[in-house]
């Protein structure tokens, strides 16, 4: 349970972030939902009621991040940070243009840095805190046409280990979650854009790449995040958790 805990979830407007915010609220936490799309986090917060507070925040803007976290800290200290906001990209090293490479770095790497930096010393001063970073199987597997995305998620996992080491004696735990393919709005949008009229066929093909035979659901990722944020996981830090339907170890 997360009763009376205060959590911040970035990218909470849809997909995995929305599922994590909902799961945390069900477990008793008050969740500050951050997203650059204010309408989406307002919707999430209306659904969650008094258990959530929406914030419009672009994690690539260091000043906006600091202002947002300062407001939250002024209300109450942050017990849990979930660095979930992220973007994806398809392309190899040759056809990934510098602008796209920079966009992924800004969101997926600098966003984690800005948000963590805004909260971690406050956690250390209180002698408690949990940070969960959203990685990916792309961090450790050689996925075709995921050059920039893999780069950023590898950085996320490396940052996780570094943060965990630096704050292990200060009561702050840091772990990462590395999903395989998860059925999110991004997947549906990708299929609609690239395979119009063949969405169901291609969805089945993508789902079959997981040895377990299906994509994950956002709620399954959220359940793992809730466990890692809870006192039940008090002995766990500095670890990356694949949740991938057997992709990394059973594929091929």
CATH number, residue 111: 3.40.50.720
Both 135 and 16 in a single domain? yes
Residue 249 lies in a domain: no
Examine residue 176 and state whether it is found in any structural domain, yes or no.
Answer: yes
Structure tokens at 211: 């040895």
Query: From the candidates 149, 161, 167, 241, which is the catalytic residue?
Result: 149
176 and 206 inside one domain: no
Is there a catalytic annotation at residue 149?
A: yes
Asked, for residue 118, whether it belongs to a domain, the answer is yes
Pair 99, 192 in one domain? no
Q: What is the pLDDT of residues 38-75, one digit of tens each?
A: 999 999 999 999 999 999 999 999 999 999 999 999 99
The pTM assigned to this predicted structure is 0.95
The pLDDT tens digits of the residues spanning 146-183 come to: 999 999 999 999 999 999 999 999 999 999 999 999 99
Domain assignment present for residue 248? The answer is: no
- Domain identity same for 139 and 189: no
- CA-nearest of 174, 178, 153, 155 to 164 is 174
In this structure, the answer to whether residues 87 and 198 fall within a common structural domain is no
Report whether pLDDT(194) > 80.
no
- Look over the chain and give the mean of its residue pLDDT values, rounded to a whole number: 96
Asked if 157 and 52 sit in the same domain, the reply is: yes
pLDDT given at position 252: 58
- State whether residue 239 is helix, strand or coil: coil
Q: Are residues 195 and 147 in the same domain?
A: no
Domain range for residue 168?
Answer: 6-180+217-243
Helix axes 38-48, 15-26, angle to 10 degrees: 30
Same domain, 169 and 100: yes
Same domain, 165 and 206: no
Q: Are residues 139 and 53 in the same domain?
A: yes
Domains of the chain: total: 2
C-alpha 40/C-alpha 18 separation (Å) is 9
């Amino acid at each position: 349970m997360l009763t009376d805990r205060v959590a911040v979830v970035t990218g909470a407007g849809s997909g995995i972030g929305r599922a994590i915010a909902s799961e945390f609220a069900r477990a008793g936490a008050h969740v500050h939902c951050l997203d650059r799309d204010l309408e989406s986090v307002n919707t999430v917060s209306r659904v969650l009621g008094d258990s959530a507070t929406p914030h419009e925040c672009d994690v690539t803007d260091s000043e906006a991040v600091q202002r947002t976290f300062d407001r939250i800290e002024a209300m109450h200290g942050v017990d849990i940070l979930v660095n979930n906001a992220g973007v994806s990209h398809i392309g190899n090293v040759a056809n990934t243009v510098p602008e796209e490479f920079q966009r992924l770095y800004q969101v997926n790497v600098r966003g984690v840095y800005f948000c963590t930096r805004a909260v971690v010393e406050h956690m250390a001063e209180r002698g408690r805190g949990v940070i969960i970073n959203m990685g990916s199987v792309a961090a450790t597997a050689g996925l075709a046409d995921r050059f920039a995305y893999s780069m950023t998620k590898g950085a996320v996992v490396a940052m996780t280990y570094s943060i965990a080491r630096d704050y292990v004696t200060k009561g702050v735990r840091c772990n990462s979650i590395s999903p395989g393919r998860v059925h999110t709005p991004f997947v549906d949008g990708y299929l609609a854009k690239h395979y119009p009229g063949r969405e169901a066929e291609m969805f089945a093909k993508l789902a079959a790449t997981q040895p377990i035979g299906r994509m994950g659901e956002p709620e399954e990722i959220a359940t793992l995040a809730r466990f890692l944020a809870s006192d039940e996981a008090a002995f766990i830090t500095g670890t990356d958790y694949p949740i991938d339907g057997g992709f990394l170890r059973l594929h091929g």
